[in-house]
Structure 1
Amino acid sequence: MEPYSHSNTPPRIDWGLYDDESGIIQPHEALEACVPGGLHTVMLGDTFQGGRYCIRDKLGYGGYSTVWLARDLQEEQWVSIKIKKANASTDKLDDDPEIQIMRALEKYYVDGPQDRPRSFVRLLAWFHHEGPNGIHNCLVTELLGPSISGILKVNKGAGGFLAPDTMLRASRQLLEGIEFAHQAGFVHGDVSPINVAFTCNQAFADDEALIRALGGEPVTAKYISKELPRPPNLPQQLVRTADWGMRYDYPSEHIRILDWGAAFSLSDRPTSVSQPLGLRSPETVFVGYFDYGHDLWKAGCVIFTLFYETWPFFHDGFHPFNSHIRTLVDKLGPLPPAWNARWDEMIAGDKKLEDEKNNDGGEQLITNTFEPRRQAIIQQCEEVEMVYQRDEYTDDDYEGLKCLLRVMLGLLRYEPGERISVEEALSYIDWIDHRAEMEEADIEEADTEEAETEEADTEEADTEEAGTEETGTEKADSLGE
């Protein structure tokens, strides 16, 4: 298929080309990215790989790709397909760094003891797909549930909150996932609440359950412009990103780290990375390069988000880098002396920040806000029975939350070399996950009962078959006489 070629006057690209006056499709990937070399145009019902994968909904998008819910008609299972921009794809699939790293992680996991739940999204298949905007790398992975950000969004809209055991369990599993990646020789590079998701096995009971979990049937807007015939580089329809309308943070569900597109070798020291500004590690500002310590900082940010149910550091739109560093100082204390000269240069001429520089920001320090927040969590749990139900392990969970302060403060140290190791951070989470142990025991008991039932059924069938054969032999002997 020939890519669409621009004329001297490029066609107008705006939302008015589509039937979406209410804006219900938003947020949506930029239409300006649907150009030759850019995003692939996808329509519900499209198929890939000779009809094997059928697109059913949109799960998300980023600066370099879109992600879709698809049905694998060959294996009869739900999967996720990440379709990269053509200019972010590779001529040979084996040259795609993300595919290389995910395959290496899988091999390291399969060759290992597998004594912990899988901590990274599983890559199932990969292939090229040609469209009007070029040839795209496509990665098929297991389907996961909502990200941490997605669950916080659901909670905000429904008046819910994370249970203490979820905070502790997710924090531990996140650290175990980063530990695994580092042991395998890789740094994720973009750990964030968006890139850490829960499994959602309970939503896969049947197709209707999955549709309900995703907030209902997909919402679309078709191309309606009569003035401009649709150029092939633009999609025939816009698809709203599905919202997980339900939460899947049960003890039986685990977290997975996804989106390994920014990952790099443990021995590398990159100098740039695409990342949310609010999660930017200080070394990317003051040092100029970063290493595995970047993952430790990001892990601290995610654990902060789990505990406070909000992102840790903010910035304004006028001086984003300056205001971001200011919030670091407010919550973590003064910068290292060696960085002050650079900080002075950054805020020169910014009167607001110059006036605030000498303020200690003590009221916002994590050490001052942690215990009030823990008490607020306890109060929520005690007062809102529809969201949280007390049991014999509740008090242990309340007490267990205290360990997260030490974890956060250890990971969110300015200088990478001063941060605690992931192993040390894990040792601080001195908490027993009773509920997960109970669910695991229940599952093992159910599996044992099922196996015993199958064995009994097999023995009964064998006995009946043997009896039938014996009767047949007796009849044959009788006829012979």
Structure 2
Amino acid sequence: MSCSSSSGSEEDDEGFDSYRKGGYHAVRVADQFAGGRYIAQRKLGWGQFSTVWLAYDTHSSSYVALKIQKSAAEFVQAALHEINVLSSIGDGGPANSKCVVQLIEHFKHTGPNGQHLCMVLEFLGDSLLRLIKYNRYKGLPLNKVKEICKCILIGLDYLHRELGIIHTDLKPENILLFSTIDHSKDPCRSGLSPIIERPEGNINGGVTSLIEKRLKRRARRAVAKISLRDSLGGAGEAPKSARNIDGIDVRCKIVDFGNACWADKPLAEEIQTRQYRAPEVILKAGYSFSVDMWSFACIAFELATGDMLFTPKGGGQGFCEDEDHLALMMELLGKMPRKIAIAGAQSKDFFDRHGDLKRIRRLKFWPLDKLLIDRYKFSEKDAREFSEFLLPLFDFAPEKRPTAEQCLQHPWLNCLE
């Protein structure tokens, strides 16, 4: 899926049921928007709140991503919030050089299901999740990881230091490459002419092939991830041969600001996608910019290894997903300091007064550098240097985590192989 990953889940489709009053707007190829300025080309993806289409801008003769929000009032409110955040990003200077997506304009579009807020965003390429999948879940070369990390950090530094914005949902789906991995899918590079008029026989547009797509996607569900604790049992992994990605431009931008907030006006207590969630969010101990830095470190690990760092499980074993998540963190990073463990509104659910987990008593420690060497076959030097970069970002004390600005100065990032 290309473009804004509010363009959504890569695992399933949006379903017929959501094309109704208050729901999605059904788009057909060659449909016109904004008085004929934008012409729909193909669907790029979808999210809980919207569908995203590649569109041709007849004014500038270029391609854009058109994000069409569901029409119900709560989705309109969500879109207005995102437009507000994106507008402040644009006002802050040339966002183009800041590794953050640019909003071109927004407008309303009336259809049979209601009035939909539409955002026109710059067209970008594939997500980092697509890149990880394309590379067959094998770690990217470290020089590529460093290039990607630099872009993300430039984006975070701009958001945090210059604008006071916390993204709150940083993950590989929400970081997009400048261009598509497969150049034949890039509307500019492929040399295909834009579709200006409706092709014959296209009557159902976005809804047509949902059943076929659903069956295909079920057949190729994402590879199940093994948690660190399970993997200690020595479960073997099938060899993964990576594709050659040397020629891929890995410059990228941060997208999807639907959940972003200003640091002085947090929107929600529970933020972040599970695997990238910081401990203070699980414990409900308040949060600031450093939650994005925790997520960033999880992404850096995933880029370098092909695996998510934390994949907690819950239910059936006498403990919940949150407690398993905290246990996985401590197995990797050491015991959480008691003062931090008991400081959150949710702490009593997981920790006793000594700062020990209530239900998971036996932790199997596996430090990061050892994990990189034993499981991912890093050289000792690479494991040591990468760990030195990541571990400060995984400090249980949020205020001790380095800022994006500080990370950009780190020696690991600045010695490209």
TM-score between both structures, scaled by the size of structure 2: 0.74
Alignment of 1:316-395 (within 5 A): 316=313, 318=315, 319-338=320-339, 340=341, 345-346=349-350, 357-363=360-366, 365-372=367-374, 375-376=377-378
Alignment of 1:105-144 (within 5 A): 105-110=89-94, 117-144=97-124
- Residue 44 of structure 2 corresponds to 59
AA of the residue aligned to 2:321: P
Cα distance in 1 for partners of 2:206, 2:99 equals 35
- Structure 1's 329 and 161: CA in aligned 2 closer, same or farther, altered over 3 A? closer
- Residue 215 of structure 1 corresponds to none
Asked if the contact 1:119/1:257 (under 8 Å) is kept, the reply is yes
The one of 131, 141, 148 aligned to 1:163: 141
Alignment of 1:295-310 (within 5 A): 295-310=292-307
AA of the residue aligned to 2:85: I
- Write 1 or 2 for the structure with the bigger share of helix: 1
Q: CA deviation at 1:117?
A: 3.4
- Residue 5 of structure 2 corresponds to none
- Structure 1's 281 and 205: CA in aligned 2 closer, same or farther, altered over 3 A? closer
Q: CA deviation at 1:249?
A: 7.3
Q: CA deviation at 1:121?
A: 1.0
Q: CA deviation at 1:150?
A: 0.8
Q: RMSD between aligned alpha carbons?
A: 3.7
More relative contact order, 1 or 2 (CA 8 Å, 6+ apart): 2
Cα distance in 2 for partners of 1:104, 1:271 equals 20
Q: CA deviation at 1:61?
A: 1.8
Give CA deviations for 1:313-348 in whole Å, capped at 9, x if unaligned.
112353332332232222222223135565563489
- Residue 411 of structure 1 corresponds to 393
Partner of 1:303, secondary structure, is: helix
Asked if the contact 2:330/2:365 (under 8 Å) is kept, the reply is no
- Residue 283 of structure 2 corresponds to 286
Alignment of 1:226-245 (within 5 A): 236-238=207-209
The number of residues matched between the two structures is 357
AA of the residue aligned to 2:172: P
- Residue 168 of structure 2 corresponds to 189
Cα distance in 1 for partners of 2:174, 2:246 equals 15
Uncovered stretches (5+) of structure 2, i.e. residues with no partner: 1-9, 193-200, 218-242
Cα distance in 2 for partners of 1:222, 1:293 equals 48
Uncovered stretches (5+) of structure 1, i.e. residues with no partner: 1-24, 212-219, 224-233, 379-397, 436-481
Cα distance in 2 for partners of 1:62, 1:206 equals 22
Give CA deviations for 1:225-255 in whole Å, capped at 9, x if unaligned.
xxxxxxxxx9652455999xx9977575411
- Residue 40 of structure 1 corresponds to 25
The one of 71, 82, 96 aligned to 1:86: 71
- Residue 72 of structure 1 corresponds to 57
Give CA deviations for 1:91-110 in whole Å, capped at 9, x if unaligned.
8x9x8222222222122223
Cα distance in 1 for partners of 2:250, 2:280 equals 34
Q: Computing the radius of gyration over CA atoms, which structure comes out larger, 1 or 2?
A: 1
TM-score between both structures, scaled by the size of structure 1: 0.65
Asked if the contact 1:410/1:425 (under 8 Å) is kept, the reply is no
